Chain A
């Protein structure tokens, strides 16, 4: 199946630590900016379909021994707004059931407007300008 480039956001629109819900080919996709890197996850939680874009971005609470509490990898997980499943934003895998309960990941990257303008691409809600950078999802 051939994929198409979909321009979904300018990079300023989704600053580090933020996320945005975008629509590509009829699908809702949650676009995350994790320290300047963009990740595109299916917005539907694989458990009962809660919208991950309305979830909280969190770290992982871990413990090495009784009484020890640590919060590691802050900002690297999204917690479903319904039942609290935690998903690794980089891989889409859930923490508790990484093999079976995982969110679909989509290919995304940043492109310069001058390169992108050569086309072909789909950008229904954007005017691509040559001096901007954009997040592109290929689907």
Chain B
């Protein structure tokens, strides 16, 4: 295996095992590239009205980012274009360097949260065709995520039906910030389609739903503050899906929570189980404690691995979350990228490495 954690004395005798990276961000070389894939009827709309998300600013993001393009400063492709736009450079800097066997693409932004949902659906469709034409057809290690407009489930389902049979797509890409909590029934047609096509649901950090990142006090002041709240949002996503009975309705649904941390999961599970024992009659659809659903249906990607103060403490948290629930992710090319060699600060056993860097993701995405 080419993954060596810090402190490993020698690579001698180590098995070489391919890494599955569950979070790679490809981007278009220029915003104009969208038009090549966008239905011509929307070109005029784009030129005349532009794109609008449910966020305060027309251009730029709500929070200042730590680095240009949100990316590692060494990720600018030498041949031009923004980080993540050049497959050749991505091969050199990520896929080949880290022996990535399977890399799951997570396309951010785009159509998911357009205020005009018809236009949003058109952008999602364009992004999916772009993934086929420029990424997954050019490197067999790469897998796509079906981009959808989660606030327009009919269009989302149509897009899932279109690309679901293509096994190079391994999941449906959703953002954690939806208009309503993720477990609400308005989103169930999407979950039904996920089950029908045996696709996992990849719920990635971020998104624009017009609400403050976490309700309860309005808008945070700083990026350093907001960047932590993505974990809290994932907790809300997870609690809603469990309490609304999504996993009773769809007993084979697989959900991957992407880039939202995992060290919080044990505490959330303890709290939900305690509440369920006392308030079960309010949610009688649940036949089992919340922890049961979470252990069965949820996988967590690892980046960014929290600094637990001591390596032993991180190991304890992994024990509690479950070694079969954690899937390595790099978040390439973003600035808070995790390098598979250094992401874990304690020495993993061979079986733990196999689980985190390969086997768990195979199960989460049902990869053959």
Contact = CB atoms under 8 A, between A and B. Distances in A.
B74 A84 contact: no
Q: Is the interface of A mostly helix, strand, loop or mixed?
A: loop
A56 B73 CA distance: 9
Given A50-B74, A55-B73, A83 B335 contact: yes
Contacts of A49: 339, 341-342
A21 to B, nearest CB: 12
Interface string B318-346: 00000000000000000111110111000
A131 interface: no
A54 interface: yes
Contacts of A47: 342
A83 B336 contact: yes
Contacts of B347: none
A48 B6 CA distance: 9
B212 interface: no
Interface residues of B, number: 13
A95 interface: no
B67 interface: yes
Contact of B342 (A48, A51, A55): A48
Interface of A: 47-51, 54-56, 81-84
Nearest to A97: B307
B72 interface: yes
A75 B338 CA distance: 27
14 contacts: A47-B342, A48-B342, A50-B72, A51-B74, A54-B73, A54-B74, A81-B67, A81-B73, A81-B74, A82-B73, A82-B74, A83-B336, A83-B337, A84-B67
B275 interface: no
A48 B72 contact: no
A50 B67 CA distance: 14
What are the 8 closest A-B residue pairs judged by CB atoms, nearest first?
A: A81-B73, A48-B342, A54-B74, A48-B339, A81-B74, A82-B72, A54-B73, A81-B72
Nearest to A56: B73
A70 B341 CA distance: 37
Contacts of A50: 72, 74
A50 B341 CA distance: 12
A48 B73 contact: no
A51 B73 CA distance: 10
A68 to B, nearest CB: 16
A35 to B, nearest CB: 24
B74 A48 contact: no
